Structure 1
Amino acid sequence: MASQENYVIIDTDCGVDDAVALMLALDCHRKGLIRILAITCVYGNTDVCQVVRNVFLTLRLFGLEKTIRVLKGCAFPLREKIGFEDGFMGIDGLGNSVHRMPEIDCQTEEEHAAQAIVSLVQQFPKQIQLLSLGPLTNLALAQHLYPSVLNEFREIIAMGGMIEMLGNVGPTTEFNFFNDPEAVHMVLTNSTCPMTIVPWDTCLKTRMLWKHFDEIVEKNTEKSKFLENIYQSIYEHKVYGRNVSPGVVLCDIIVVFVAVFSKIIKLTDEYPVAIELAGHLTRGQLIIDRTGRADRKKFKNDRMARFVTELDIEEAVKVLKKALD
């Protein structure tokens, strides 16, 4: 059994990269590197009920669909419904592949994901890493239920935002944080535990080459077939497809590397961070103060966060190949 300091909750909107991140985390769980206490589901890449199904389909690859707790969470953002992507990840979040997969029992516990987060943090204070792979709505709701909950994590690791301005929703916005800026604001202004952010621009420069992806797929195992199926819609994507992109954008997968394989990660110093809530063109933009001029900061109740800037992609590929074997 993993030691206390390796307890993990994964909060996910289970799209393609989330599923691979889960596969890596589940392999680590099985090897005793971490202990996954729960997987909490949130809307994002698809609707929350489909997210639940996608999580169970991924768990089944490891025979853990009856073992690890799965809890359904928020179906909408705190303020307004943004709408789901239906191109990059497919309508079902897994490349429009779910209809080809065998049916699975997707019965979750009755407890809401936010309440489960609160209960687990109360049970294991200062011992849990929260891995956030989607919008932060479940975390924000947990904070509303139990105001000090966000201070009781050992660490929050989230994929979202950007350091440089090269967005995947708008010019200055990234999908996860854009989907619920108010939730991001609640997390940033009500948490004091260490926070590490995997920004979108780092994801763009740390891609797994398609030849390495093919080496995994060609193993012809149950996991490799699942991987090939869920990436079908991405193959032909006009920006990230095989003919235009040098490799697979890892995104949420990097969050698991941060949590478990920190030696292959490079981090920045801590910087003050905030989220833009009102901008006509910049709503949902993560603001990072790298000036070092504390006397002119305009953030209110700002908190500090570190950012992932580099991943040793060769070592990451080795880890992934073993995990997805």
Structure 2
Amino acid sequence: MTDVQSMKKKFIIDTDPGIDDAMAIFVALKSPEVDVIGLTTIFGNVYTTLATRNALHLLEIAGRTDIPVAEGSHVTILQGTKLRIADFVHGSDGLGNQNFPPPNGKAIGQSAAEFIVEQAKTYPGEITLVALGPLTNVALAIQLDPAFTKNIGKIVILGGAFAVNGNVNPAAEANIFGDPDAADIVFTSGADVLAVGINVTHQVIFTDGDREKLAASNGKFAQYLCKIFGVYYGYHYDAYNTRGVYLHDPATIIAAIDPSVVTCTEGVVRVQRAGITRGLTLLYNNQKRFGEVTEWCNKPSVKVAITVDAPKVVKMVMDRLINS
């Protein structure tokens, strides 16, 4: 390993590709600060089987078939099989209804949780796990190895709607809603966690003008993304009446690469696991000492992003995609 390689941040990206996942993966692959050592797959934008196919396809497009893909859980942490799949946002194939031919590659034999645990053991303290979908695989890794939360360097989560409405319903953000029981395990695990919620990512808007700049560029990844963007833009026009899209996953990748793009607060985060507010993320800011013993007591704090330098995030995303 060269000195340059050893200085790079090691990323495992847990992903449910997904149009903005594709964008985020390409941004990570074009980031000189990052060494992507694996992709793990989860349900969310698509079912897990299709997420794996899409992850393998994206690595083939990128010419990075050296990067392993480990398939994740097909069910929630409590074995739930009625999954929320956002094909109406990303297309039935997850990639803008382009129906690309199947990839040549295959997932490795290990499960996503096994792969994540093994890599964290191999590189203790060095790996950033970027979770772009529901947190089932991450929770399974925590359950699989009691030392995992100490071995993993950081867990950067796209998830939560802190003090704003959700995007699945008024209470919940999609990834947390996808497996709230898993999310609660991760938030209370004691790992070094940064949550990048939609309170932040909804400030990072990729406009029609940005899309046109990508289309006019010679970037390989830029051209690919412009081919698949249509469904995603159409959804945003309809759901939010906006002439642009929110960069949820790319903003989270950028925050993992350069934490200075967000400011954070710290506190205990718990997740509502039932009822009409299922998937709600609630941050306790530690400013009041309560007299009663509750399910919030003696829980570890996590970091939650509260502001973002949106122009810087968009510029970093654009630069990497145009120079691809």
1:130 match: secondary structure: strand
Q: Report deviation, 1:288.
A: 0.8
Q: TM-score, normalised by structure 1?
A: 0.90
Q: Report deviation, 1:71.
A: 0.8
Q: Report deviation, 1:269.
A: 2.2
Paired AA for residue 95 in structure 1: G
Partner of 1:8: 11
The gaps in structure 1 that reach 5 residues or longer are: none
Q: Report deviation, 1:241.
A: 5.1
Native 8 Å contact 2:136 2:179 kept in 1? yes
1:283 aligns with 2:284: no
1:314 match: secondary structure: helix
Partner of 1:210: 208
1:214/1:243 CA distance change after superposition, 3 Å: farther
Deviations 1:196-225 (A, max 9, x none): 111112111221222112211222543223
Q: Which range moves more in the overlay, 56-65 or 46-55? A: 56-65
2:175 match: secondary structure: helix
Partner of 1:233: 231
Partner of 1:50: 50
Q: Report deviation, 1:104.
A: 2.0
Q: Report deviation, 1:49.
A: 1.5
Partner of 1:116: 115
Partner of 1:251: 248
Paired AA for residue 62 in structure 1: A
CA distance in 1, matches of 2:249, 2:153: 19
The gaps in structure 2 that reach 5 residues or longer are: none
**Structure 1: 4+ residue segments shifted above 6 A:** none
CA distance in 2, matches of 1:243, 1:200: 14
CA distance in 2, matches of 1:310, 1:210: 23
CA distance in 2, matches of 1:235, 1:248: 6
1:224 aligns with 2:222: yes
Paired AA for residue 273 in structure 1: V
Aligned residues: 315
CA distance in 1, matches of 2:286, 2:258: 30
Q: TM-score, normalised by structure 2?
A: 0.90
CA distance in 2, matches of 1:116, 1:291: 35
CA distance in 2, matches of 1:41, 1:315: 28
Q: Report deviation, 1:240.
A: 4.0
CA distance in 2, matches of 1:96, 1:220: 23
1:261/1:22 CA distance change after superposition, 3 Å: same
Native 8 Å contact 1:129 1:156 kept in 2? yes
Q: Which range moves more in the overlay, 137-146 or 290-299? A: 290-299
Partner of 1:145: 144
Partner of 2:269: 273
Q: Report deviation, 1:149.
A: 0.8
CA distance in 2, matches of 1:64, 1:323: 16
CA distance in 2, matches of 1:241, 1:212: 19
CA distance in 2, matches of 1:144, 1:247: 39
Paired AA for residue 39 in structure 2: I
1:193/1:5 CA distance change after superposition, 3 Å: farther
Q: What is the aligned-residue RMSD (CA, Å)?
A: 2.0
CA distance in 2, matches of 1:143, 1:242: 36
CA distance in 2, matches of 1:276, 1:300: 16
Map 1:3-152 onto structure 2 (within 5 A): 3=6, 6-28=9-31, 31=32, 33-65=33-65, 67-79=66-78, 80=80, 81-97=82-98, 99=99, 101-152=100-151
Q: Percent identity?
A: 28
Native 8 Å contact 1:5 1:128 kept in 2? no
